[in-house]
Structure 1
Amino acid sequence: MSHAFLLVSTGSGAGLTTVSLGLVRALDRLGIRAGFCKPVAQLHDYDRGPERSTRLIEHMTDIDAPQPINLRRAKALLGSGREGLLMEEVIALFQQSARHSDVVVVEGLVADAHAGYATRLNTAIARALDAEVILVGKPEADLEEYVDIAANAFSGSNGTALIGTILNRVGESSEEKPCLQADLLQTGSGGNEAVRTDEMCKKMVEKPFHFIGAIPWLPSLVAPRTADVAHYLGAEVLHAGEMQQRRVQCMELCARTLANTLSVYQPHTLLIFPGDREDIFVAACMAAMNGVQIAGILLTGGLRPSFGVMNLCEQAIRTGIPLLLVESSSYQTASKLAHMPSAVAVDDFDLIDQAMDHVANHLDAEWIKTRCAIDRKPRLSPAAFRYQLIQQAVQARRSIVLPEGDEPRTILAAQQCQQRQIADCVLLGDPEKIHQSALSQGITLDDGITIIDPTVVRHRYVEQMVALRHHKGMTPQIAEDQLQDRVVLGTMMLAMGEVEGLVSGALHTTANTVRPAFQLIGTSETAKLVSSIFFMCLPDQVVVYGDCAINPDPDAAELADIAIQSADSAIRFGLEPRVAMISYSTGESGSGQDVNKVREATRIVRQRRADLIVDGPMQYDAAAIASVGRNKAPQSEVAGKANVFIFPDLNTGNTTYKAVQRSAHVVSIGPMLQGLRKPVNDLSRGASVEDIVYTIALTAIQAQ
């Protein structure tokens, strides 16, 4: 998985897009294959086209960037509590960007007074991608406090994800006022302008994260074209001239006498005056005849110079002066221009190219190169795990029987699985009731969903069930009675190979789901017993808990088998297992029957599977928290880094999983059963539609 650098800003006006594009340019200069991703579109109020960052990166580079998620959809998912689904979509976009890249520059959202959701989204994106965060800000009084807050916001169990800061607009005068915004744009000294060392830069250098660069303020890089001013005002173009080439670095409202305006006829200046001030108009044209490249003339009040004056100045106008007309008064026009956005126009590619070079020139290239060379394997975040789960299930595309076929949540889950091509679901139940239940929830079931009426097919399995269980005294009458239970019927369909997996439990107990599997499916050749795991989607990572549903009090050999099964399941689903055998003591600090059982189980695992990283006995905090692990078990490869937790008994496992799930509001996927010849999985009776979908996906992957 590629490195992910998530750039987030301290607020509006920090130039997040420009710095993001500049970082891409810097990476390209270093020979590093860079991708770009803007996960959620954040259009400016004045944007009318596609999201600007994605459009610009595609025009300025050969990067094929994915189209971002619509902001309205993102806010709707957040508002409905479906942040997990939103992050899965973010992961999908990132994967597109990362396909042929070593590093992906991810542009976050700008948090301002109108975007309170931005910080929450940026934090979620950082966790979903396990991204390294770079903070982009401009020198201002409260920047230092914001950086400290951001370091905490992006922190996790293993420290902060914030790796560096970039200061933009360094050297911009704090006295500049937006009364006429372009008055801020007096000509600078160009690309050789030295970075002014100010107090804020010094403070950033002293922070524990790297100060990646200070980007000096170059007014020429935000100078709009005269055409941009015309577009913003909706001005009538009397003469286009060179309006696409000439840039406005200064605006002058000419309200004084001619003698008192002589100093304003300067290059890159937009002159604003009423159309009946013919003296000013003629003076501007004389300046043009003398070689002064005025940015343009903006006539106000809907007034035009007389025909005779226009004829007199025709040759001057032909030098390329843009000539614009607005109906508003000079004062109204100036007021509107004072609020003209400073962002570069989305089609001003020349200026964007200069800005990218300017940013790249002032970033610490050696540090960037060194950071990208770090062999870093991102942790598997909950969003990445769920995305990966769905993608693997789509590739597997197995048939899964759902015995509780008329249960409303199960019906919705089957419909979602069909639409997302996760699995081919088979619903057991009365077809009429199933369709009625679907319609009452506002859906029409897809034709690809199979519905089987148990009363029609039940008799087919009597003889086969007797053959499977004759050694236990099974008779046709007993088989017929047991097949009244749809879970038993579904399990027989699985045993006969008519389906490839079974999911039940929305209405039934674990025993109701598991017992037929024990009797009709049986344990696989490689397992000594059937056990279970939960995938616990903690805020920062996915971990495995086992066994939390099946075995009340396993002995040492059984506990070792559970650990090996759980580690293999972790591998199957993309985790590199570091197995902690949980007990009430760590290492050699405790003794007694219970802790000795865990110690012996650890020995057996190491003996049977030397390839696994396992340690125990170990307390939960020593296994999960890096600082505690270093203190209690400094030599352990597992302490503080465990991602597979094996509990000594069902009492401990089930209690811990429910406590973590409910108290920390953690999504848990499972229980997933291990050790059966064919996959059967149980649901919690409180399972949501989303829980059922993920359990079906798990089952489909197991069935490969």
Structure 2
Amino acid sequence: MARSVYVTGIGRGDGRQAVELGMMELLSRQVDRVGVFRPLMHTRTDHVVELLRGRYRIDLAAEDLYGLSYDEAAALQAERGQDELVGMLVDRFHALERQCQAVLVLGTDFAGTNIPDELAVNARLANEFGALVLPVVGGHRDSADTVVAEVRNAHRAYSDLGCSMLAMIANRVAGRDKQEVSRRLAGRLDVPVYVLPDEPALSAPTVAQVVETTGAEVLLGDASGLARDVRRFVFGGAMLPNFLGALSDGAMVITPGDRADLLIGSLAAHAAGSPPISGVLLTMGQTPGADVMKLAARLAPGTPVMLVQEGSFPTATGLSALEGKLTAASPRKAETALGLFELHVDTVELTDRIELSRSERVTPMMFEHELLERARGSQLREVVLPEGTEERVLRAAEVLLRRNVCHLTLLGAEDAVRKRVADLGLDLGLDRAETSKSARARIIDPATSPLRERFAELYAEIRKHKGMTVEAAQDVVTDVSYFGTLMVQEGLADGMVSGAVHSTAATIRPAFEIIKTSPGAAIVSSVFFMCLADRVLVYGDCAVNPDPDAEQLADIAIQSAETAARFGVEPRIALLSYSTGTSGSGADVDKVRRATEIVRELRPDLLVEGPIQYDAAVEPKVAATKLPGSKVAGQATVLIFPDLNTGNNTYKAVQRSAGAVAVGPVMQGLRKPVNDLSRGALVQDIVTTVAITAIQAQQAAAPAAAEEQRR
């Protein structure tokens, strides 16, 4: 039977969509077939169900994910009674449950429903489904006393109705009250209580929602602009100098269409990055002249400018109660919600209470989720991103910050970085105060940084055997790749990720010169984590060494096995060739055979086979014919290619033809983590590579911490 969690509440406005998203993330890390079920809904499709269905690739029939509409349920209950209603919903739930390893059930929303005693209905459904109950209590605008009382009352209500409780969550609690609420509830109930602070970015509507609510005509702007969060509204009436002082990050300007000065002034401020606004809403049906609109389009490309027919006051009235919601069209809000949940909820404890056993099958999504979870660790690491104005890097940075994965340093001219961030409509929190637990971003300009002199002296000392002088080094260290590498070397950052626009050589040459190889590593090499539909394989070396000799190939195999083990892949090494076992001969095969012997001599604890063909390495039926009795053949997890030509082409062929997710290249053999990106890297590739870098930094710090403890 699938394990099920029923997320419910006690009233409206509890913001439980963030909790539902967090629970789905938690379940999807453990098993590969998770379902979502909405017993009662207002419309035939539900925005949270559709968000979860798309984000977590739930490949079940849409009709299986829903029970009945509220109108259908009310009519059925009135005609045949509640038992008949519950029986029908239980039947539909079990039909879904049979297809899943875990099911997340989304309780009723207490919003304009015609079901009497909704709390009792949720409790009964949870009991009939055999689901653990996770009640969410909203604390928006409530005092600490009220929140504490409501949590206790909700716990008593669901317990008295016979529910098996998983935990309690107090959500949207004022930041100033979070610690007080946590202290007063800790250990007072028989289940854990987690307190999530109110996060303005989740309740902020998007520009698209403003357009939908007001029926505005979009004059300028693109899809990414419409996805921006609207943090507040600023009404334009004052003269420009006074008006500019009222602008703030994420503000939407509402002003009559004849105030071209405020339109141009707002967009000019946005273009300068001080501050980046969400858009401009023009009222009274007055469109500025063509020359003004051309200038507006040039000043801030992509920034929405919209027009409504009503005046500013009725427009403001219509927007006053507008709140954001999590939908498939708001992925940035989803990242914020997940970051909030993972920061304030003990997901390990919650998983243990659900008693989920991890699936032996590892999907790409499970692997990626696990990386993000591990990257946070007990202490956030600092990763430097030299390509601070590259769009994909900045979009990845926003995801990493919203998910609270690590601290980030962006390199580049500050004005240029801020302008790029503003143009893209991103929120990196560059001017917000730092907190002890939340990830933050900062900008450093190598050309103007006080570190430039120090780094020049350091680099000149490292390269003095090559004739490097401090004067020449002054220019070298302004190169973002060298500056970032020196930050890592000096402990000012824990790792570096680059290569979205720079070549592999430009990324790793500074690491070779400055950081150098780690003790015990003969060479620097790389691996790709190849996430197939049902497993994760490790490919090495597909990015660095063109034609390694036998000793180098053995070193690559050993390093790759260690990397695999660090990231949860049990290493079974196959050194690949065009022949298997003793069936072939020649220099290329002999190299692989000798490399296999070296691995066995150096690391007798590792399972290794070679030379072996790819099909014999991964397909049990072929292995049974070509290499019967082998502990590696047919079940290899670490595949070592004889040269770069073979490795690079194979990983790309598998990636493109088999639909595998290729994570990497992940560099190995350096003293400190520096990782290269493919120049075709997607935003998610960058997110994953940064997470891997943060994990490598944790692992690199562990021996030093242990040594310090011994002292």
Scaled to the shorter chain, the TM-score interval is 0.5 to 0.7
Number of the residue aligned with 1:538: 532
Number of the residue aligned with 1:456: 448
Relative to structure 1, the CA distance from residue 474 to residue 617 in structure 2 (aligned partners, 3 Å threshold; closer, same or farther) is same
Contact 2:374 2:695 in 1 (8 A): yes
| Counterpart residue identity of residue 121, structure 2 | D
How big is the shift at 1:126? 9.9
The yes-or-no answer on 1:232 pairing with 2:75 is yes
Number of the residue aligned with 1:390: 372
Number of the residue aligned with 2:427: 444
SS in 1 for 2:360: coil
How big is the shift at 1:545? 0.6
The yes-or-no answer on 1:429 pairing with 2:412 is yes
The yes-or-no answer on 1:655 pairing with 2:630 is no
| Counterpart residue identity of residue 612, structure 1 | L
Q: Distance in 2 between matches of 1:692 and 1:452?
A: 20
Relative to structure 1, the CA distance from residue 565 to residue 232 in structure 2 (aligned partners, 3 Å threshold; closer, same or farther) is same
Identity of aligned residues (%): 48
How big is the shift at 1:346? 8.1
The yes-or-no answer on 1:420 pairing with 2:194 is no
Moved over 4 A (4+): 66-69, 103-110, 117-128, 233-236, 243-249, 348-356
Q: Distance in 2 between matches of 1:630 and 1:665?
A: 27
How big is the shift at 1:434? 0.7
Contact 1:544 1:570 in 2 (8 A): yes
Number of the residue aligned with 2:190: none
The yes-or-no answer on 1:404 pairing with 2:398 is no
The yes-or-no answer on 1:93 pairing with 2:27 is yes
The yes-or-no answer on 1:600 pairing with 2:594 is yes
Number of the residue aligned with 1:694: 688
How big is the shift at 1:662? 1.9
Q: Deviations over 1:54-101 (max 9, x none)?
A: x9xxxxxxxxxx9644xxxxxxxxxxxxxxxxxx97451356xx7xxx
Contact 2:24 2:52 in 1 (8 A): no
SS in 2 for 1:553: coil
In the TM superposition, 1:319-398 aligns within 5 A as: 347=121, 378-395=360-377, 396-398=379-381
Question: What's the TM-score once normalised by structure 1's chain length?
Answer: 0.53
Relative to structure 1, the CA distance from residue 246 to residue 427 in structure 2 (aligned partners, 3 Å threshold; closer, same or farther) is closer
Relative to structure 1, the CA distance from residue 105 to residue 656 in structure 2 (aligned partners, 3 Å threshold; closer, same or farther) is closer
Q: Distance in 2 between matches of 1:104 and 1:507?
A: 34
Larger Rg: 1
Unaligned runs of 5+ in 2: 39-43, 65-70, 87-118, 131-354, 431-439, 699-711
Number of the residue aligned with 2:4: 36
How big is the shift at 1:623? 1.1
Q: Deviations over 1:624-659 (max 9, x none)?
A: 222222222221111221111100011100111111
Relative to structure 1, the CA distance from residue 509 to residue 688 in structure 2 (aligned partners, 3 Å threshold; closer, same or farther) is same
Contact 1:587 1:618 in 2 (8 A): yes
Relative to structure 1, the CA distance from residue 672 to residue 107 in structure 2 (aligned partners, 3 Å threshold; closer, same or farther) is closer
In the TM superposition, 1:626-665 aligns within 5 A as: 626-665=620-659
Q: Deviations over 1:268-306 (max 9, x none)?
A: xxxxxxxxxxxxxxxxxxxxxxxxxxxxxxxxxxxxxxx
Relative to structure 1, the CA distance from residue 235 to residue 670 in structure 2 (aligned partners, 3 Å threshold; closer, same or farther) is closer
Q: Distance in 1 between matches of 2:617 and 2:371?
A: 26
How big is the shift at 1:230? 9.9
Contact 2:673 2:693 in 1 (8 A): yes
Q: Deviations over 1:393-438 (max 9, x none)?
A: 1115211111111112112222222221111110110111111111
Relative to structure 1, the CA distance from residue 126 to residue 408 in structure 2 (aligned partners, 3 Å threshold; closer, same or farther) is closer
The yes-or-no answer on 1:563 pairing with 2:557 is yes
Number of the residue aligned with 1:293: none
The yes-or-no answer on 1:579 pairing with 2:573 is yes
How big is the shift at 1:229? 10
Q: Distance in 1 between matches of 2:600 and 2:77?
A: 76
Q: Distance in 2 between matches of 1:434 and 1:248?
A: 57
How big is the shift at 1:701? 0.7
Q: Deviations over 1:526-567 (max 9, x none)?
A: 201000001111121111110001111111111010001001
| Counterpart residue identity of residue 654, structure 1 | N
Q: Deviations over 1:497-551 (max 9, x none)?
A: 2111111101111011111100111100120100000111112111111000111
Number of the residue aligned with 2:251: none
| Counterpart residue identity of residue 464, structure 2 | H
Contact 2:76 2:84 in 1 (8 A): no
Contact 2:578 2:589 in 1 (8 A): yes
Number of the residue aligned with 1:468: 462
How big is the shift at 1:235? 6.4
How big is the shift at 1:392? 1.0
SS in 1 for 2:408: strand
Question: What's the TM-score once normalised by structure 2's chain length?
Answer: 0.52
In the TM superposition, 1:481-520 aligns within 5 A as: 481-520=475-514
Contact 1:109 1:122 in 2 (8 A): no
Contact 2:623 2:634 in 1 (8 A): yes
SS in 2 for 1:456: coil
Relative to structure 1, the CA distance from residue 617 to residue 701 in structure 2 (aligned partners, 3 Å threshold; closer, same or farther) is same
Q: Deviations over 1:321-364 (max 9, x none)?
A: xxxxxxxxxxxxxxxxxxxxxxxx983978997897xxxxxxxx
Relative to structure 1, the CA distance from residue 472 to residue 49 in structure 2 (aligned partners, 3 Å threshold; closer, same or farther) is same
In the TM superposition, 1:194-209 aligns within 5 A as: none
SS in 1 for 2:121: coil
How big is the shift at 1:665? 2.8
SS in 2 for 1:455: coil
Q: Distance in 2 between matches of 1:406 and 1:667?
A: 26
Relative to structure 1, the CA distance from residue 353 to residue 411 in structure 2 (aligned partners, 3 Å threshold; closer, same or farther) is closer
Q: Distance in 1 between matches of 2:448 and 2:85?
A: 80
Contact 2:401 2:428 in 1 (8 A): no
Contact 1:37 1:104 in 2 (8 A): no
Q: Which deviates more from structure 2 when the two are superposed, residues 595-604 or residues 407-416?
A: 407-416
| Counterpart residue identity of residue 702, structure 1 | Q
Q: Distance in 2 between matches of 1:229 and 1:493?
A: 63
SS in 2 for 1:518: helix
Relative to structure 1, the CA distance from residue 247 to residue 548 in structure 2 (aligned partners, 3 Å threshold; closer, same or farther) is closer
Q: Deviations over 1:26-69 (max 9, x none)?
A: xxxxxxxxx4247xx9x9xxxx999xxxx9xxxxxxxxxx9644
SS in 2 for 1:614: strand
Number of the residue aligned with 1:271: none
SS in 1 for 2:584: coil
Q: Deviations over 1:570-591 (max 9, x none)?
A: 1111111111111111111111
Relative to structure 1, the CA distance from residue 471 to residue 626 in structure 2 (aligned partners, 3 Å threshold; closer, same or farther) is same
How big is the shift at 1:459? 2.9
SS in 2 for 1:347: helix
Contact 2:27 2:34 in 1 (8 A): no
Relative to structure 1, the CA distance from residue 428 to residue 628 in structure 2 (aligned partners, 3 Å threshold; closer, same or farther) is same
